[in-house]
A and B are shown apart, each in its own frame.
Chain A
Amino acid sequence: MTELSGDWCGMQAPETGTTIVAVSYDKVFLLRSGSAADTQLVSDYVRYYAEQHAIGLEQPPSVKTIANLVKQMNYQNKQMLLGAMIIAGWDREAGGQVYGCPIGGTLLEEPWTTDGSGSTYIWGFLDHAFRDNMSRSEAEELVIASISLAMARDGSSGGVVRLITISKDGAERRLVKGDEVLEAIFLFLVA
């Protein structure tokens, strides 16, 4: 997640082969990979607990709190769950943030992260292309290009790219369809 001097933050968290689930108040999103059943379950519980918590706090929980909820579920039920998730969002305390919640119950905050089966094909690309303090459009183009490259090689990824950009003004969704994907890679590489 790049946080810029404005309040943009790109959701620098491409995750292939997954759908994205809104957790709390349109400013925190959970990305799911691994066992679909496990991650759906965790997301349901986390949304439930986050909403309960928000009632007590009288404001949305912080991104870190929600990431911690995901981690607690992963860690306490380590034997039974096989889901790797990413929490990405924006809050007033710390701006844009990305948290990795891999299998086993670790919690680590990172500038960017990727997960899922297709992620293996794009780590090198992201290592190479990620910069701190990218603009919003640079961040979006990078994420779309990364997912497109993963879709090109991973059998378990494909179809469309669902991109969500979260900032202080909320979340904006953008869909890149499969046939526009090659164009996205090309545009990124020549820009």
Chain B
Amino acid sequence: MFAKGPSHSTALGPGCAGPPLANPQNFGQAGPGAHEHGSHQPSCGAAPFAVDASMLRSAGSQPHKHTQSPYVTGSSVLGITYAGGVMLASDTLASYGSTKRYKSVQRLVKVNETTVLGAGGEISDLQYILNMLDDLSTEDYCADDGQSLSSQELYSYLSRVMYNRRNKMDPLWNSLLIAGLESGKPFLGSVNMIGVAFSDDHLATGFGSHLARPLFRKKHRPDMSEEEATALIREALEVCYYRDKQSINKFQIAKVTTAGGVSISDAFALPTKWEYQAFVDPTRDAVGVW
């Protein structure tokens, strides 16, 4: 009776809890107005509530979910490919509106031996997605045939999930970067909450798409060394920290390389520079103001 976790309703598509059939058959019903198994219709006319929200969807009734608003959110994720690998970076903050609420949240997560997922947006939806991907990995493990989902496959899967939820007007409120090795070649893809998906040599979500990508466009080369890539990412992170209010000076970098597989660094801080004369003395010519 409790919510079953991310089931994959073949009727409603991936990422939705729901009945296996589009028009579920309710056996043993006395009639259209009869009490339906699992649903709780208050006589006062209020919206029904059930622990497992999928139980409210009976034949003919509309789902009660609708477009939400995010509460606990992560900010930018940056990604670049380089010679022999791909790198993702983000800070470790989850904000609650403009409050910097949770400062040790790992928003870059290893999915399997070849793929890392980075997410901005609502953290509860990220946790739900990770649960779903865990289910997929478990299925692979149980099949025990040496196959696991590649980055490209995970990217395609997630783009279907996100687009499907968008069509239900019940999005997973995230911007995702999927990074990994696809047949030994670096792969980097982006999927957002409305299901827009594309892949490229360098990508960023949130503020990063405005602040970091111009730097990437200028300095990125697909045959960069790991040192050059790290330096470029650190420069981009610094800019994001200066200019994005919902960020903190605590970052992680995740790498997927042909040599070393997946690794996610410990959190680190970047040096920042505040001695610019314009900061020290921004109002030199205005009397009585600092």
Listed in ascending order, the chain A residues whose CB lies under 8 Å from chain B are 41, 45, 49, 71-80, 100, 102-108, 110, 120
Contact = CB atoms under 8 A, between A and B. Distances in A.
Contacts of B127: 71, 75, 105-107
Given A49-B2, A76-B3, A76-B53, A104 B64 contact: no
List 4 tightest A-B contacts by C-beta distance, closest first.
A104-B71, A105-B124, A106-B124, A76-B3
Contact of B72 (A45, A73, A80, A106): A106
A49 B51 CA distance: 11
A80 B94 CA distance: 22
Contacts of B70: 104
B102 A108 contact: yes
24 contacts: A49-B2, A71-B124, A71-B127, A72-B2, A72-B3, A74-B124, A75-B127, A75-B128, A76-B51, A76-B52, A76-B53, A77-B53, A79-B64, A80-B49, A100-B102, A102-B71, A103-B72, A104-B68, A104-B70, A104-B122, A106-B94, A106-B123, A108-B94, A120-B99
Contacts of A71: 124, 127
Interface string B193-220: 0000000000000000000000000000
Interface of B: 2-3, 17, 47, 49, 51-53, 64-66, 68, 70-72, 94, 96, 99, 101-102, 105, 122-124, 127-128
B71 to A, nearest CB: 4
A41 to B, nearest CB: 8
Given A75-B128, A78-B124, A102 B64 contact: no
Contacts of A49: 2
Contacts of B65: 78-79
Contacts of A45: 51
Contacts of A77: 49, 51, 53
A90 B75 CA distance: 33
A75 B47 contact: no
A71 B72 CA distance: 13
B51 A73 contact: yes
A104 B124 contact: yes
A108 B124 CA distance: 10
A80 B49 CA distance: 8
A80 B2 contact: no
Contacts of B123: 104, 106, 108
A185 B72 CA distance: 31
Given A76-B52, A79-B68, A102 B96 contact: yes
Given A104-B124, A107-B124, 17 more contacts: A41-B49, A72-B2, A74-B124, A75-B127, A76-B17, A76-B53, A78-B65, A78-B68, A79-B64, A102-B71, A102-B72, A103-B71, A104-B122, A105-B124, A106-B123, A106-B124, A108-B102
Nearest to A42: B51
B66 A79 contact: yes
A121 to B, nearest CB: 13
Nearest to A74: B124
B207 to A, nearest CB: 21
Contacts of A107: 124, 127
Nearest to B52: A76
Contacts of B124: 71, 74-75, 78, 104-107
Contacts of A41: 49
A120 B65 CA distance: 31
Contacts of B64: 79-80
Contacts of B96: 102
Instruction: Pick from B99, B122, B124 the residue with the most CB of A within 10 Å.
Output: B124
A77 B70 CA distance: 14
Nearest to A108: B102
A108 B105 contact: yes
A145 B242 CA distance: 35
A78 B123 CA distance: 13
A104 B128 CA distance: 12
Contacts of A120: 99
Contacts of B2: 49, 72
